[in-house]
Amino acid sequence: MTRNHARLTPLAESLPSSVPFVGPETQERLRGRVFAARLGANENVFGPSPKAIAAMQIAASETWMYGDSESYDLRNALANHLNIDPAHIMLGEGIDGLLGYLVRLIIGPGDKVVTSQGAYPTFNYHVAGFGGDLVTVPYSGDHEDPDALITKATEVGAKLIYLANPDNPMGTWHDATRVQRMINSVPAGCLLVLDEAYVEFAPEGTAPDLLPDDPRVIRFRTFSKAYGLAGARIGYAIAAAPLITAFNKIRNHFGICRISQSGALAALEDQDYLRDTILNVAHARTRIDEIARENGLTTLPSATNFVAIDCCRDGDFARRLLGALVERDLFVRMPFAAPQDRCIRVSAGRPEDLDAFAAALPEALKVAQAD
């Protein structure tokens, strides 16, 4: 008789064994060759500050020690940078890890969670993992719809509402006034999860003022994007002190390694390098727009380090185009849900990366149009 040696809970047994994204390394193994340009994961190809690299190299010799379980130095440096009290900040293993902790704290089986259809899927993954009931509303004009999210949350009695501003996967954004109006409208018993992973790339006036005592909102930011430390897995939450303290009930207290802590601290201190990176990304966004228009396509305005290219057809056409680009060794991705899946999404790259994209796109379009 075959025995099941994994004593899974009924909930875990019901879930698929899958991940929200298939990484480029996995695709390379399946393809049997590497990509010529890595333009699909919204990574910062311009890399971290040289000062961050130097700090991590020094910290590598100290990895016999655990990282500081309180991330004391980095937490206080962030507090000083943001002009808030450290009691309002929690460090974690990227925004993804912190989202998992938040859902574990707030959501039980059957609890309602509201998000946009086609929005960041890792959040949905965590909701499913703790038995939450995900309720979605459509995008409006390629933007997440704050009013529809609030209306639906009120209707179903949601405990969490998720909004990314700027948005992933479309790159669009709302201004601070619109977001603050949404915060002011959060229904009683609900919490707005405001994902600001790309906020450093956004125009001034995108993020509402930091009011960390407000119990209606928790904000997430990261060192993965503008600071170029995606592989270090380090992000932070900003919220009212009682909610931040609650993370200590369930978080992995030694989840952030010493190397990541040292790199993030040095990166935060090098704001000159951050400004250079933001300029490099802006130039790359302009180049992607030029390449798209040279090939009869259009782009969506972006406040992130990627650009959504509108293929001006349907999702099937965009998938054929993406497949043809992958065949030409270009790693790109696309939104999951219609009608946003009419687009492909291209990360800001170095000049040589975008030259490769410019060379491959006309051929890929011919293949997509022929099918």
Q: Work out the average pLDDT over 327-337.
A: 96
Q: How confident is the model at residue 114, as a pLDDT?
A: 98
Q: Which of 234, 269, 304 is the last residue of a domain?
A: 269
Q: Are residues 26 and 156 in the same domain?
A: no
| Predicted confidence (pLDDT) at residue 60 exceeds the cutoff of 60 | yes
The answer to whether position 95 is within a domain reads: yes
Using DSSP's 3-state secondary structure scheme, residue 75 falls into helix
Closest CA to 178 of 220, 208, 143, 150: 208
What band does 2 get if pLDDT is binned at 50, 70 and 90?
low
Which CATH number belongs to the domain containing residue 27 in this structure?
3.90.1150.10
The answer to whether position 1 is within a domain reads: no
What band does 1 get if pLDDT is binned at 50, 70 and 90?
very low
Q: Are residues 325 and 264 in the same domain?
A: no
Q: Which two tokens stand for residue 217?
A: 């909102």
Q: Are residues 28 and 93 in the same domain?
A: no
Q: Are residues 87 and 108 in the same domain?
A: yes
Q: Work out the average pLDDT over 106-130.
A: 97
Domain tally, the chain: 2
CA distance 371 to 109: 44
The answer to whether position 316 is within a domain reads: yes
CA distance 61 to 367: 51
CA distance 90 to 96: 13
Instruction: Report the percent of the chain where pLDDT is more than 90.
Output: 95
Q: How confident is the model at residue 4, as a pLDDT?
A: 59
The pTM score is 0.96
Residue-number span of the structural domain to which 248 is assigned: 63-269
